[in-house]
Structure 1
Amino acid sequence: MNNHEIDFKLYGDDMQFVEVELDPDETVIAEAGSLMMMEENIKMETLFGDGSSEKGGLMGKLLGAGKRVITGESLFMTTFTNEGQGKKHVSFASPYPGKIIPMDLSELDGKLICQKDAFLAAAKGVSIGIEFQKKMGVGFFGGEGFIMQKLEGDGMTFIHAGGTMHKKELVPGEKLRVDTGCLVAMTGNIDYNIEYIGGIKTAMFGGEGLFFATLTGPGTVWIQSLPFSRLASRIFAAAPERGGNKGEGSVAGGLFDILGGDRK
């Protein structure tokens, strides 16, 4: 294997975190801000890019960092290396309610395509790049789906999804239509395109947007029930216009809101 071989354990149900077990000199890479806790003798280091192009010199590092900028991610990633004598543990938490999905890239032909903000952590050696869709319609109307992350290697990687995650196997020629934000990941042999919903009334009042993703097998796709963008938009829509709900649901508080009064 070219990647470090790591063990792991998942904790929780809807607010999960993953605990990675590192043997001496083993390393895991993670997105900045995903660390939950780590034991002593684990060295934390910030890398330019994803750390998979160390032998490529400065140009390789610049290319790796440039790929991450295009996907909207940070220029830097963080590595965690066990510099002690025995096994050590480091844990990473999902940034919002949902599931953490462990993926063994050696069982997925060495490649996984996922939403740009889905990656959480991986064994050192996994390359995190970008996957451009071939058809321009995906670029103009695909929203989150145009520029996706491409994870390559033969080690473990961890991605996260909002709400409940559903794995679906597509046979050759089988098509699945999905809301663009609900697509979490897919194997590299899936054909991905954008399709117009059709019908003026449906497009204007259906509440589902004008386009959805069309996935054609063979291959495997992972779907999330609650994209973070959908959750954030509902929270924003429900937020009070001025300083929050002062009454916290009480009758008196509601009266103050109606009258526009201030409570000291």
Structure 2
Amino acid sequence: MNNHEIDFKLHGDDMQFVEVELDPDETVIAEAGSLMMMEEGISMETIFGDGSSSSGGGGLMGKLMGAGKRLITGESLFMTTFTNTSYGKKHVSFASPYPGKIIPMDLSEYGGKIVCQKDAFLAAAKGVSVGVEFQRKIGAGFFGGEGFIMQKLEGDGMAFVHAGGTIIKKDLQPGEVLRVDTGCLVAMTKEVDYNIEMVKGVKTALFGGEGLFFATLRGPGSVWIQSLPFSRLASRVFAAAPQTPGGGSQGEGSIAGGLFDLLGGK
């Protein structure tokens, strides 16, 4: 086994966090800003890329190439490692950034590779490679939106993926096709063939209330679907927020509205 073997426990329901148990010298990697808490005896270090052999090979240039790929997905060049430098078991916890579920995935059970949305990765055992999965088809490349640029998690250790709302796992049979809103696709196994297709029908595209494109997934393989993509939640919140000419929001019962009234605003 090339990856560190870590134990974990999930806490919570809709606002989950994962507690990882580290034996001495075991390490877990995580996205910057995902740390919730950690016990004494765990050391933090900021590294280029993900610290795996695939991204760190070839000296400095290899590390720069591995970290540079993360810029394509909109992630930071750096990741953080948490290593147990003491003698006993220690615990470190990582929290999800918005309401949803954390999906633990043992990569060794899925052929050593999972493809996921670019912002879904939360944490993983050291040795798991976090790279970019390029879509081969030009149509998906230009019009894929959220579903185009995806991450690939490779290795034989544990990885933790986060998604919004309720998560459902569907096992597709050979040749079985599932059409999904591009933002609702969370992850899939490497066997699944996927493409981005345009919604047929001008009326459907213009007045249907959905995006112009959806992801077409063809089995065999497993896919994970989320009911509430963060982009959908953010757009609804933004649309519902009352706007003032100055760009701020003023509403009944809001702090901004109260200050506006207090200062004699009309």
1:30 matched to which residue of 2?
Answer: 30
Contact kept? 2:57, 2:63, Cα under 8 Å: no
Letter in 1 for 2:145: G
> Number of matched residues?
255
1:193 matched to which residue of 2?
Answer: 195
Alignment of structure 1 residues 61-76 onto 2, 5 Å: 61-76=63-78
SS in 1 for 2:178: strand
Contact kept? 2:21, 2:89, Cα under 8 Å: yes
SS in 2 for 1:18: strand
Q: Does the alignment pair 1:244 with 2:243?
A: no
Q: CA deviation at 1:24?
A: 0.2
Alignment of structure 1 residues 46-195 onto 2, 5 Å: 46-53=46-53, 54-195=56-197
Cα displacement string for residues 66-86 of structure 1 (whole angstroms, at most 9, x for unaligned residues)? 110111100000000000110
Q: CA deviation at 1:55?
A: 4.2
Cα displacement string for residues 120-157 of structure 1 (whole angstroms, at most 9, x for unaligned residues)? 00000000000111101101111012221010000000
Q: Does the alignment pair 1:18 with 2:18?
A: yes
CA-atom RMSD, angstroms? 1.4
Contact kept? 2:171, 2:222, Cα under 8 Å: yes
Separation in structure 2 between the aligned mates of residue 109 and residue 60 of structure 1, nearest angstrom: 25
Q: CA deviation at 1:262?
A: 2.6
Task: List, as ranges, runs of 4+ consecutive aligned residues in structure 1 with deviation greater than 6 Å.
Answer: none
Separation in structure 2 between the aligned mates of residue 222 and residue 113 of structure 1, nearest angstrom: 10
Structure 2: runs of 5+ lacking an equivalent: none
Letter in 1 for 2:52: S
1:262 matched to which residue of 2?
Answer: 261
Cα displacement string for residues 5-40 of structure 1 (whole angstroms, at most 9, x for unaligned residues)? 000000000000000000000000000000000000
Alignment of structure 1 residues 194-213 onto 2, 5 Å: 194-213=196-215
Letter in 2 for 1:101: I
SS in 1 for 2:262: coil
Separation in structure 2 between the aligned mates of residue 110 and residue 205 of structure 1, nearest angstrom: 42
Cα displacement string for residues 82-116 of structure 1 (whole angstroms, at most 9, x for unaligned residues)? 00110000000000000000000000000000000
Separation in structure 2 between the aligned mates of residue 247 and residue 217 of structure 1, nearest angstrom: 51
Separation in structure 1 between the aligned mates of residue 52 and residue 66 of structure 2, nearest angstrom: 8
Letter in 1 for 2:17: F
Separation in structure 2 between the aligned mates of residue 108 and residue 50 of structure 1, nearest angstrom: 20
Cα displacement string for residues 44-81 of structure 1 (whole angstroms, at most 9, x for unaligned residues)? 00001111134431121011111101111000000000
Q: Which shows bigger deviation, 193-202 or 6-15?
A: 193-202
Q: CA deviation at 1:246?
A: 4.2
Structure 1: runs of 5+ lacking an equivalent: none
Separation in structure 2 between the aligned mates of residue 66 and residue 244 of structure 1, nearest angstrom: 38
